[in-house]
Amino acid sequence: MQLHNKINRDELKEWLMKETFSRKTISFYRYFFLENPQEFRDKIYRDWFALDCFGRIYVAREGINAQMSVPEHHFDTFLKTLEKHEILKDIPIKYAIEDDGKSFYKLTIKVRPKLVADGLDDGSYDVTNVGKHLSGLEFHNLIGQKNTVVVDMRNYYESEIGRFEGAICPEADTFREELEIATNLLHDKKDKKILLYCTGGIRCEKASAYLKNQGFEDVNQLHGGVLEYARQIKKAKLESKFIGKNFVFDERLGESQQFLN
């Protein structure tokens, strides 16, 4: 069995549009030390290819980051494949809100040096020693409170089209730059409650570990990112504190938050 796609994108997109079943668009990540990322990558590729899953998945020694489209009629079986691997057991899954099932047209799983490139040597800080996870509602209630600081850990072009009220938005194009800028901007705020957020959670999770390594103690992160915040706020029928659009990295590009208001 070949472990990568060889069919051209136009043909794949045509097949996708002709599908007669529905798909769920999901995302998940976890920082976890993997001994053999390539071996793990090949195992999950076999499982997920057999279920007609599509998506873009990155695997590294520090864990996994996945955005996927899974056929609804295979979804229960897909969940069972997660339980086969320690890194994937009970992993939190985020579900897209605006979802037509056309987010991806092929399955791509790549092994990378890191999930989020930080430009730092391996072992320079513990990526699994992360900040406190906050639910969307907890994060919502803390925004604007005294002694809290909200920090956007996405790239600057993402915060330009949407951000939380009063958020600090470092003007950076790379995660490495953002870590440095955010640390400098917060240097006199180590006694504050730091609230980090990003699109799906993976960048602010790593940023929280970095800030803890830099001596910040009350570091918190929006668990599941803006995507999960949107879902919880909609369910609670609250007015969103996210202004604009949330940038997402698939065929949808921008996922509007207008339904929250």
Each residue's pLDDT, cut to its tens digit, for the chain (261 residues) gives: 556 666 666 776 677 777 778 999 998 999 998 999 999 999 999 999 999 999 999 999 999 999 999 999 999 999 999 999 999 999 988 887 666 667 788 899 999 999 988 887 777 888 889 999 999 999 999 999 999 999 999 888 888 888 999 999 999 888 889 999 999 999 999 999 999 999 888 889 999 999 999 999 999 999 988 888 888 998 999 999 998 877 553 333 344 333 333
Beta-ladder partners of 68: 26, 55
Question: If you count them, how many residues does the chain have?
Answer: 261
Report pTM: 0.74
Nearest alpha carbon to residue 204 among 154, 253, 170, 161: 154
Nearest alpha carbon to residue 185 among 135, 150, 161: 150
Domain limits, CATH 3.30.70.100, in the chain: 9-111
φ/ψ of 21, rounded to 5, equals -115, 165
Question: What is the separation of C-alpha 222 from the centre of its chain, rounded to a whole number of angstroms?
Answer: 11
53, 169, 198, 204: the catalytic one is 198
Domain limits, CATH 3.40.250.10, in the chain: 132-260
> Is 198 annotated in the active site?
yes
Question: What is the separation of C-alpha 26 from the centre of its chain, rounded to a whole number of angstroms?
Answer: 10
CATH class of the domain whose range is 9-111: alpha beta
Region for residue 201 given its phi and psi (left: phi exceeds 0; alpha: psi -120 to 50; beta: otherwise): left
Could you name the CATH architecture of 132-260?
3-Layer(aba) Sandwich (3.40)
